[in-house]
Chains A and B, each alone.
Chain A
Amino acid sequence: MRIGIVCPYSWDVPGGVQFHIRDLAQHLIGLGHEVSVLAPADDPPRPGGRGGAPTPRPGGRGGAPTPLPPYVVPAGRAVPVPYNGSVARLNFGFLSAARVRRWVHEGNFDVLHIHEPATPSLSLLACWSAQGPIVATFHTSNPRSRAMIAAYPILQPALEKISARIAVSEYARRTLVEHLGGDAVVIPNGVDVSFFADAEPKAEWQGREGENTIGFIGRIDEPRKGLPVLIRALPRILAERPGTRLLVAGRGDEEEAVADLPRELRGQVEFLGMVSDEDKARLLRSVDLYIAPNTGGESFGIILVEAMSAGAPVLASDLDAFAQVLDGGEAGELYANEDADALAAAAVRLLGDPERRAELRDRGGRHVRRFDWSTVGADILAVYETVTDGAAAVAPDERVGLRARLGLARD
């Protein structure tokens, strides 16, 4: 099958959607499908340049561009725009539209898979300029915004072209139904379970008798990721279990993160900085407890699935999305969101109860199989097959020109 995937966010900026698309593309290629991903990214330097491609602005952001995988087609430099509480790097304008149309035309895809089509981005452009079997995945679950309501009549004609909608969680599906109407099938994000399950634990990250380790992975300086809640709970955890160490992996200002912590306790927090995928897996494999204190803005919680895949017992805030990934608290424990006391109490109880942790590890290990790429990929392919059954290939949407319309109007 020839599959075209559109990524709305910059390929060189790490993010959940980008990782999902990367893994999906690699999984599909592994199964023998032809996949092309259109993503905002700087153009690779070409000798002599090429007409139509924007020349990178001198003195612009960047430096050495990351090499793109062979299946990614760059759609040009993305413009940073504040959107939905953070900065999104997006493509729009005539030039991008022309590129999208060319890619659609040259790709001759059986199916077009667009991600996050309801954001003002490359995805919306692709939806606008293509016709044929279109599948769309909705990742976020934002509360209804004014912009969304204002844009609704503009969005609707483009969204009407989507033959099949996928939501990454029951929660994301609910938001989608409330905001845009219609319905979607729920297919969770995928994880390569064996990559995490087979990682080698690292001795220095492993706990010892009475000296357990707790893991946290995520942006330090993004309050939504919840590190401040965990830091507030830490003194209470350390009072009960003094040897405990907190291992933090992620970007951000380390000094600021521990500023509220009493000086003598700061030694118990270890910052690992940005870690590679391999080290992330090894970290999750090593810790005695993984804590996800996120306070909101999560529509799925892939990190919880990764932690469970690696066999780490999980303690997470009771966000809707997290509760769902953890099977309502069956596969991991939940505490009341933003309640540092509840977090501390649950963490102390779990750290002092190896049997319960072993039980969680066991249940989590069984639970994650539904998130493995072999399962998720088969479901996504089933969607592709459902919409392509007997349908024509994807083609650029030949917009009826004004003259043709007038001809029609005069009839």
Chain B
Amino acid sequence: MITTIVWIAAALLLAAVYLSWTAGRLDRLHARIDAARAALDAQLLRRASVTQEVATAGVLDPAASIVLYQAAHDARQAEEDQREVAESELSQALRAVFAESAQLEAVRSAPGGEESVRELAAAVRRVPMARRFHNDAVRAARALRRHRTVRWFRLAGHAPFPLAFEMDDEPPAILADRTEPDREGH
């Protein structure tokens, strides 16, 4: 009798430790998603700001300026559920405007243009990076949350089911070209 109780107690204890450990794991994953999302937001905002600066600098032709300004403005102002579409449209606008290197040269030749081009190139390269890290965290959390233990014991609490950020983040080819060595960030 006593041995049975001891065995049951030991089993319960073990199960409790396992549950607590899994909950800790999940908690850490949620924290990672939050950090990754903040980083992604920062990069998207940075990209929109630099685009707006370039659009209002008056170095591009009026049509390109308007297209870029509008897309950047929409991306910054978009509601949460429209965000992915608006950011994708900004990517498309950037690709359309910088499809030819003449536009890039125009920006570069303006006073302070070299700096703007560097910032823009950094921004369009970092958005896909940040998005990949975010979606990687989301995937890990989703995999764990689909686990039986997590579902049955409701270890995720009230945290919303994490969603990946899906958008077209393909940078303009001439800005993503790495054969031109740059000195970004220093």
Contact = CB atoms under 8 A, between A and B. Distances in A.
Interface of A: 31-32, 131, 133, 157, 160-161, 163-165, 181-185, 366-367, 369-370, 372, 374-375, 378-379, 381-383, 385-387, 389-391, 400, 402, 405-406, 408-409
B143 A389 contact: no
Interface string B109-129: 000000000000010011011
Chain A to chain B: the 9 pairs with minimum beta-carbon distance, closest first: A409-B16, A370-B178, A182-B136, A378-B184, A405-B20, A374-B181, A369-B179, A164-B133, A183-B136
Nearest to A162: B136
Interface string B1-25: 0000000000001001101110011
B39 A160 contact: no
Consensus secondary structure, chain B interface: helix
Contacts of B185: 378, 381-382, 385
A31 B178 CA distance: 20
Interface of B: 13, 16-17, 19-21, 24-25, 28-29, 32, 35-36, 38-39, 42-43, 122, 125-126, 128-130, 132-133, 135-137, 139-140, 143-144, 178-186
Nearest to A376: B178
Contact of A382 (B24, B28, B125): B125
Contacts of A378: 182-186
A221 to B, nearest CB: 36
Contact of B28 (A133, A161, A386, A387): A161
Nearest to B179: A369
Contacts, number: 104
A160 to B, nearest CB: 5
Nearest to A157: B25
B139 to A, nearest CB: 5
Contacts of A409: 13, 16-17, 19-20
A312 to B, nearest CB: 19
B179 A163 contact: no
Contacts of A163: 32, 35-36, 133, 137
A400 B180 CA distance: 49
Residue from A161, A369, A382 with most neighbouring chain B CB atoms (10 Å):
A382
24 contacts: A133-B35, A160-B28, A160-B29, A163-B35, A163-B137, A164-B129, A165-B133, A183-B139, A375-B178, A378-B185, A381-B185, A382-B122, A382-B126, A386-B126, A386-B129, A386-B130, A386-B133, A387-B39, A390-B35, A390-B38, A390-B42, A405-B20, A406-B16, A408-B20
